[in-house]
Amino acid sequence: MRLFCVFFISLLSLFTNAGTMDSWFRDFKRSATPTQLYAFLHAMPKGGDLHHHLTGSGYPQWWYALATDKDSNGGYEYYTRVSPSLCQGLSPDTFGPDNPFMLFRTVQASTWRRLPDCEKTHYRSLSALSDEQKAAFLNSVRLDKQHEGRNEFFETHWQRLNELTRNPYIVGQLLVKNMQAYQTENVRYLETQVNVHGMMDATGSPLSAETALSILLEALNSPTAKATGVTVKFQYALLRFLPNAEEQLATIYAFVDGHRKDYVGINMVGREDNDKGHPLRFLPALRMLRHKYPAIPLAFHAGEVDEPNHHVRDTLLLGADRIGHGLNTITDPETLLLMRHGPYLIEINLISNLLLEYVEDFQSHPFGEYLRLGIPVALSTDDRGMWGATLTDEFYVAVRAFNLSWTELRTLTENSIEYSFLAKPQKYALKSSLSASLDEFEDKAPQSNFISVSVPTDRFICRREPSLCSAPKE
């Protein structure tokens, strides 16, 4: 009986706290300046970032610093195209994937040395760029202009980074930088998509996936990374529209099965407006692989398209437990009903969806509807390096555009651990520590003024949606 009373009282105090905090937060939202609201969300304990592409999460200045520092990048040197070349003359291939007019396509020195002499003259060592060229290089992998959108992102950013993404030392250091950045934002878990096949050494020879992974793990287990306190697990990503994607999926299954300590899931990525990668294409391959291997958690991109279709439903049929983006679930009522209070989570990437033109504005984003219908959702950052954003920015946009309550903020945060692919004991430990930190934050927040955190001034989202960064209407 006494135990029951203690339990009842603590449950009561939990409800009272949550209710008090909701009421305090409602008033705080009305009176806070944008800076105070941002600082509150920055300080708020956060769970995990569940939708994160590691090579898309390097800010351009990180890429540049790592690419030009042989001591931290494994001794590699890089060259980037600084003037358009027509060395081969005009041909039908001129506007193909290796478009010679694409500036800042970057290759490692071993590749540059093999280029024809005429081509070489159009490249310059990254370390020798003029200030103007360096600024242009940095901007070439940022989605910061009004006219830049989906095509710029899918068709030029990756092609420019090119061989930089095939250096496991750079990728490892990007991971450490992400962990450090997340520590400052009070994020405690990262489930990042990172591949290790196709890496090269500084001479241009292929590195085995095992070697590349060991280089990545060395960075992950370094004292600097450990000091952040951020737990990291990997997902392996399959580029879905490739002709041999089924073969690659089999290779990925075998690899992830052999490295379950570090790899906790598989993802399926790539432009969904390329129908060659449609979900049901992979049903036979996945059924065969499920026959062969113990279960591997799947988090697939789906519904990141403009038109209505049943791809989210089809992706659940593929066996996915989490859906990346899930934007067009809103147009599929049966699937929407299936997901209400269900076991499947939609990973929401608000800033990505706006900048890649999948929504006109946040008014037309279905996030609020999903959240308030009881569909499990969590906020994540996708390729934040290319839009200069942070997880705090996602929360900031969500609060401003959807008037989130404290209880909703807490649910989003807790979902990001609850629906992670962590093993049960680790998940339980993270959930408990997050819950304790959130309780403590609830106690302290009303006494804080939230102006001590410096807010980044160059936030692209403020330029795209200035109203979100101006003072709220009284």
- Smallest separation, CB 51 to Zn ion (Å): 6
- Smallest separation, CB 18 to Zn ion (Å): 32
Residue ranges of E strands in 316-385: 322-325, 345-348, 377-379
Half-sphere exposure of 159 (CA within 13 A, CB side): 15
Q: Quick one: 49 or 382, whose CB is closer to Zn ion?
A: 382
Q: Quick one: 382 or 408, whose CB is closer to Zn ion?
A: 382
* Burial label, 149 (beta-carbon count in 10 A; 0-12, 13-18, 19+): middle
Spatial separation of the C-alpha atoms in residues 300 and 325, rounded to whole Å? 9
Q: Quick one: 382 or 442, whose CB is closer to Zn ion?
A: 382
Distance of CA 154 to the CA centre of its chain: 15
Count of residues that bind Zn ion according to CB under 5 A: 1
Q: Quick one: 314 or 382, whose CB is closer to Zn ion?
A: 382
- Smallest separation, CB 324 to Zn ion (Å): 5
Q: Quick one: 52 or 459, whose CB is closer to Zn ion?
A: 52
Beta-ladder partners of 347: 324, 378
Q: Quick one: 347 or 442, whose CB is closer to Zn ion?
A: 347
- Smallest separation, CB 349 to Zn ion (Å): 7
Spatial separation of the C-alpha atoms in residues 411 and 306, rounded to whole Å? 28
Q: Quick one: 382 or 394, whose CB is closer to Zn ion?
A: 382
- Smallest separation, CB 267 to Zn ion (Å): 8
- Smallest separation, CB 412 to Zn ion (Å): 18
- Smallest separation, CB 95 to Zn ion (Å): 27
At which residue do the structure tokens 């024809």 appear? 116
Q: Which of the ranges 96-104, 374-382, 413-421, 458-466 carries the binding residues for Zn ion, by CB under 5 A?
A: 374-382
Exposure string for 215-233, b = 16+ CB within 10 A, e = fewer:
bbbebbeeeebeebebbbb
Stretch 378-397 residues interacting with Zn ion (CB under 5 A) = 382
Q: Quick one: 163 or 383, whose CB is closer to Zn ion?
A: 383
Which long-range contacts (C-beta less than 8 Å, at least 24 apart) are formed by 340-343? 340/373, 340/374, 340/375, 341/374, 341/375, 342/375, 342/376, 343/376
Are residues 209 and 255 in contact, defined by beta-carbon separation less than 8 angstroms? Answer: yes
Half-sphere exposure of 238 (CA within 13 A, CB side): 29
Residue nearest to Zn ion (CB): 382
* Amino acid in position 179: M
Spatial separation of the C-alpha atoms in residues 54 and 234, rounded to whole Å? 9
* Residue 347 engages Zn ion in binding (rule: CB under 5 A): no
Q: Taking CB under 5 A as the rule, which mask of x and - marks residues 72-101 in contact with Zn ion?
A: ------------------------------
Q: Are β-strands 78-81 and 106-108 bridged in parallel, bridged antiparallel, or unpaired?
A: antiparallel
Q: Which of the ranges 107-115, 164-172, 376-384, 463-471 carries the binding residues for Zn ion, by CB under 5 A?
A: 376-384
- Smallest separation, CB 325 to Zn ion (Å): 7
Residues near Zn ion, by CB under 5 A: 382
